[in-house]
Structure 1
């Protein structure tokens, strides 16, 4: 599209004056969204017409009663007007009406344009946040894959117990940095007011140490969680406890249990 030719065509002046059809107004409006130079030209035309209408506007109201008397007087067949001053007066009044109507429509369109620009900027910011979150999740996923594929990682399958025999989970223990990664995809959603609590166990004598509770189980779609574990663990267990966790495991609510493979 030749922007300069379009601007010089005169259609923007008609747009500002409100003399275009609804479809033509929509076409000009769409082009203003796409081409800042067209929007700038419309704003300049508005400013020029406002200045023009102010200079041509009558200093006093039109005397409609006087005109009526002349027209109804049977002895008067012709209304004599000063061709120069009256033409300018009525032209200025008409221009003001046309420009006023056009400017009212244009101001509404400008307001809509500003709203659209604000919406676009908001959507852009939201998209940027989503992209950044996706990058963070991708980096986290790559890191997790590197962890579970490391030959030095200790993998401990946890089998379902009497409380829920179909449950299962997997612990990936990185002894080098005292961290465990838990894959809890095989656990059911905990009931309201309950949380899963993870335990590190020494088997002889049986000594449980809490590694913490899984408070965001419902919010995490992947059901992968990371906890600190600086213990000399021989086994791991997961119980269902009241929100906030328990000092010692509730064995009746032991969902999964698994011991390290013997060396």
Structure 2
């Protein structure tokens, strides 16, 4: 059972006001013994109704008691005089009816305020939940886009004919590492920068393919490349290497600026 929904259904208010059906009353008493929050809600509503009754209690008019005593004395001393009794009874009925009416009007007004405040709180909660839903929907779109990109990259590096070539750091640059994925069917080349130092200003890394013992440029590595990056296609290669060159690239590799090298195993 959804206890929160049950508490907000209005059954507790009906019970405290004496308007609940017997089966609703029995169910409420049973739930209040099982669920502390239901019992707390009943006590809160009873306290609220008591405060409302005290606030709108009607004080009897001054001198009413004295007039009632005088009339009662007249009734016992002169029982044959029945005429004054009728006005007193009618007057009392009107007074009590007016008091009850005022009390009911006060309770009705406070109930309107109570339910209005509850409606306002529920509306605010709805707006908050709607905002959270919109944020989650936006995050979900971001995650879906990332997942689609990762799925596409996985398809590229696992496609038939794709070779994985690990380029390890040369002596003095042992921490450097790059992974190249070369598809021998499509000739497309992709790489992942596992670890390379941030290039100095005015410098850029360049990928080389060793073809028949000669280095051939396979493209520049963009500094913003953080995932799987595409470079120039390579028709054939015996090895791959990465050197640090001036920005824009170089027609020939600077050998003392080589960072990683790896042989192709077919």
TM-score normalised to structure 1 length = 0.52
Q: Does 1:77 align with 2:85?
A: no
Alignment partner, residue 94 of structure 1: 103
Query: 1:200–1:231: 8 Å Cα contact kept in structure 2?
Result: no
Give distance in 1, aligned partners of 2:93 and 2:203. Answer: 91
Equivalent residue for 2:259, pick from 233, 255, 258: 255
Q: TM-score, structure 2 length as denominator? A: 0.52
My pick for the range that moved more, 189-198 or 140-149, is 189-198
Matched, 1:171 2:187: no
Residue of structure 2 equivalent to 1:34 = none
The counterpart of 1:105, out of the listed 101, 114, 120, is: 114
**What is the deviation of 1:171?**
0.6
RMSD: 5.1
- When Rg is computed on C-alpha atoms for both structures, the one with the higher figure is 2
The worse-fitting range, judged by mean Cα deviation, of 77-86 and 189-198 is 189-198
For residues 141 and 202 of structure 1, do their structure 2 counterparts lie closer, same or farther at Cα, with a shift above 3 Å needed? same
The alignment partner of 1:90 has SS state of helix
C-alpha deviation, 1:140, in angstroms: 4.7
Distance 2:17 2:128 in 1: 25
Which residue of structure 2 lines up, in the alignment, with residue 11 of structure 1? 12
Aligned partners of 1:15 and 1:102 also within 8 Å: no
Higher relative contact order, structure no. (Cα contacts within 8 Å, ≥ 6 residues apart): 1
Question: Separation in 2 of the partners of 1:192 and 1:16?
Answer: 80
Structure 2 unaligned runs (5+)? 2-6, 19-27, 43-57, 69-87
Deviation at 1:158, TM superposition (A): 0.8
What is the aligned residue count? 208
> Alpha-carbon deviations, 1:206-251, whole Å to 9, x = none?
453534414153xxxxxx413142354645444568xxx9212695
Q: 1:152 & 1:161 partners in 2: Cα distance? A: 28
Alignment-derived partner of residue 199 in structure 1: 207
Instruction: Please state whether the residue corresponding to 1:213 is helix, strand or coil.
Output: coil
* 1:166–1:8 distance in 2 versus 1, CA, 3 Å: closer
Q: Does the Cα contact within 8 Å between 2:206 and 2:249 map onto a contact in 1?
A: no
Question: Equivalent residue of 2:161, what SS?
Answer: coil
Q: Which residue of 2 aligns with 1:38?
A: none
C-alpha separation between the residues in 1 aligned to 2:117 and 2:199?
A: 54
CA distance in 2, matches of 1:198, 1:93: 90
